Amino acid sequence: MKPEITLKEVNYENYDELIDLRVKVDQRNFVASNIYSLAEAYAVISSKGYALPFGIYLGDKPVGFLMIGYCPDLEYAKGICNEGEEIPYFLPGSYEVWRFMIDKRYQHRGYGSEALKLALEFIKTKPLGEAEYCCLSYEPENEVARKLYRSFGFEEKELPKGWDEVPAVLKL
Ligand SMILES: CC(C)(COP(=O)(O)OP(=O)(O)OC[C@H]1O[C@@H](n2cnc3c(N)ncnc32)[C@H](O)[C@@H]1OP(=O)(O)O)[C@@H](O)C(=O)NCCC(=O)NCCS
């Protein structure tokens, strides 16, 4: 039977329990902490940008965190890329799975796959505006993430100049 996973918006009721979630020590390099991601989401939203943070829940139990971004056009892409970073062709006009983690206590039980499936279904409704692609990136040594994204149809791309994470792209 499929796990009953849902995505819930982050609000005053649940932000605290999401901050408590942790990856394994040897995975800390793969994803920012949830407290950092929520601070970043606040900063992006208050600068009129796009960030949609969600808790990943098994029933009422928080098991992970996921954040979706949106880059409508080249102007916005210039604002989110650091100096010296190439703007790849797929970034303007894309959604991003920007952060994605399952707490160390709940990994390898199918929750991550189910959450990613829900996130992609949501992205395909184009909730923030039109887009051609969904993209994301991962550390080159993150084999679990690479395999998972590939199973959803993400195609790995060459490392753009100035990037240190491998991008992968799904045509919407
Ligand atoms: C990547 C991550 C979100 C996957 O979540 P998860 O709930 O553990 O994944 P699932 O249980 O749904 O498994 C997805 C696939 O990965 C495989 N997998 C999961 N954990 C694994 C492990 N420790 N070793 C080997 N394979 C593993 C599963 O077997 C499954 O593959 P299958 O469909 O071929 O069986 C989770 O491992 C994680 O939080 N990692 C640390 C943070 C991170 O890397 N985030 C992504 C940043 S880009």
> What is the chain's Cα-based Rg?
15
Question: Does residue 165 register a pLDDT over 70?
Answer: yes
Question: Does residue 30 register a pLDDT over 80?
Answer: yes
pLDDT, position 96: 98
Closest CA to 91 of 82, 101, 100, 103: 82
Percentage of residues in the chain with pLDDT exceeding 90?
Answer: 95
Q: Look at 1 and 108; give whichever has higher pLDDT.
A: 108
145 alpha carbon – ligand 1 mean position (Å): 6
Strands 61-71, 155-156: pairing kind: unpaired
143: β partners: none
Mean pLDDT over the full length of the chain:
96
Residue where the block lists tokens 């923030």: 128
Closest CA to 32 of 107, 81, 99: 99
pTM: 0.96
User: Which residue's CA is minimally distant from atom 25 of ligand 1?
Assistant: 144
Residue range 29-57: mean pLDDT, rounded = 97
Q: Tell me, using a 6 A CB cutoff, whether residue 43 lines ligand 1.
A: no
> pLDDT band at 3, cuts 50/70/90?
low
Question: Does residue 2 register a pLDDT over 80?
Answer: no
Q: Tell me, using a 6 A CB cutoff, whether residue 69 lines ligand 1.
A: no
Residue range 20-43: mean pLDDT, rounded = 97
> pLDDT band at 23, cuts 50/70/90?
very high
Superfamily of domain 5-171, CATH level 4 = Gcn5-related N-acetyltransferase (GNAT) (3.40.630.30)
pLDDT, position 82: 87
Closest CA to 77 of 117, 131, 39, 118: 131
CA 113 to chain centre: 13
Q: Tell me, using a 6 A CB cutoff, whether residue 23 lines ligand 1.
A: yes
Residue range 151-166: mean pLDDT, rounded = 94
The domain limits of the chain are 5-171
Q: Tell me, using a 6 A CB cutoff, whether residue 56 lines ligand 1.
A: no
